[in-house]
Amino acid sequence: MGDKAPLVGRRTGLVPPTAELVERLYRLAAVGDIPWPGHGASTPMAFQESLWADVLVQFGIEDLRSGRPVGLLRAERANFFHGYAHLSMFVLPEFRMQGWPLEAAVLFGNYVFRRYNLEHLYAEAGDTELEQYGSGKGSLFEVEATFRDRLLVNGERENQYVLTFTRERAFTVGAALIERLARSPATASNGSLSQRF
């Protein structure tokens, strides 16, 4: 791959957050349908401020087939001295539990490592999320820590996992995956990226 990080995959593209996406995220955060950090969704102005608070870079996820917004990816709380940042991904409800939006996370991780001098990206996931893309465990990311029964999801307790994606893996496993995705023709919308790890 060249020096420029690709922003388009087989099914998803990374784009600046659109007004439509920001409005949807605010409405979902305001009623608790997405876990927005802190209390940033209490008012539209507070949400707008929280959208960029401590964010290094963020992109909207776009479905290339329909042009519809799918979610938001953020690298935040960057520590350049120690070489890490935190990754968060917010997916709109109609796209949850589908593997293909994760293609955007691979594109995003590659972009962040190419653009910034970081060694690790950390993300958090609950049991349900880890089960969805758990086939990447050990090949694309590692589980660094497990906090038992820390999350409350739909009234049930779930474990919380801290995942790490390294620069080395981004430039080996991640790069190979992006290359395969770029060569693969688009398939039916129920195709799962997690099946390709």
pLDDT, tens digit only, all 197 positions of the chain:
446 888 999 899 999 999 999 999 999 888 878 878 766 567 888 888 889 999 999 999 999 999 999 999 999 999 999 999 999 999 998 988 787 888 899 999 999 999 999 999 999 988 887 877 766 777 788 999 999 998 877 778 999 999 999 999 888 888 788 777 766 555 433 333 333 32
* CA–CA dist 80, 171 (Å, integer): 19
From residue 189, give the alpha-carbon distance in Å to each of 10, 98, 100.
11, 9, 8
The answer to whether domain 12-184 has CATH 3.40.630.30 is: yes
Could you tell me the pTM of the whole model? 0.84
DSSP 87-124: EEEEE-GGGTT-STTHHHHHHHHHHHHHHS--SEEEEE
